[in-house]
Amino acid sequence: MTKLSLIIPALNEEKFLPRLLSSLAEQTKMDFDVVVVDGSSKDKTVEVAQSFQSKLPMLQVIVSEKASLPLQRNIGARATSGDWLAFVDADSILLPYFVERLEWFIRERKPALFTSWFRPDSEVSGDAIFTLISNLFVEGSIVFNRPIAPGPLTVVKRDVFDLVGGYNESITFFGEDYDFTQRVSAREFPLQILRETLYVLSLRRVRKEGKLRFMRQYAKASLLVLLTKRNLNNPSYIMGGQLYDSKKKQAERSTIQE
């Protein structure tokens, strides 16, 4: 029997996290546990997560002293007991049959590492085209022998995760997902893709940075990976839902912190 643990790193996600946890509470199969690893948020992320414990009885909420995607993912993995780990971004929304289809894929295809297709969080045609390109990018990464299980959804067998030592905590800004996939692939565990749309991807970062700037950044990273297999570390990358607040609210929060 497959036991699935979902790990959600979060930072200042009081607005977006409830959508994700609500989608988990509405799954067609509820045989999973969840751990939210908060990076010492300044908002009500922890309180919001804890409010879902009646709807998700197997929910844990852990606070990390440091905000870091790879660190928080590793903390979550250590806190769970599932033989499969699903790493999910806090601003995603999972479709109701998400868990059911993951378990089917694990049972039928016997992968070690996989991801799935996704759709955008709007009906705008430009967003649909952007996510189509993104899905094709993941498909192409396998074709060109540079596989990448994207950060918004990576599912991995626990013993494989432990074998490679989890995520590299020294990669604090950008590209920890590519690094992780490469180390798993080097152990002869290929990345597989569940070719169904199982989650809604938030495009908030894309909208904030602008599609052209965002695509240039990823094109540069992709070219570096394709030619050299080296990862592009981007020190301008910052995690956290606070990036998408209005300027007024950010100023208010800064005043409070001072």
Cα–Cα distances in angstroms (integers) from residue 157 to residues 31, 60, 77, 88, 164, in the given order: 16, 20, 11, 15, 11
Residue 233 lies in a domain: yes
Q: What is the pTM of this model?
A: 0.87
What is the reported pLDDT for 184? Answer: 97
- Stretches where the chain sits below pLDDT 50 are 247-258
What is the reported pLDDT for 257? Answer: 32
Q: Which helix (H) or strand (E) holds 114?
A: strand 113-120
Residue 258 lies in a domain: no
CATH number, domain of 246, equals 3.90.550.10
Distance CA 203, CA 224 (A): 24
Closest by CA to 117, choosing from 21, 193, 229, 3, is 193
CB 153 within 8 A of CB 118: yes
What is the reported pLDDT for 247? Answer: 47
Residue 256 lies in a domain: no
Residue 102 belongs to domain spanning: 4-250
What is the reported pLDDT for 250? Answer: 40
Q: Which helix (H) or strand (E) holds 195?
A: strand 191-201
Q: How many domains does the chain have?
A: 1
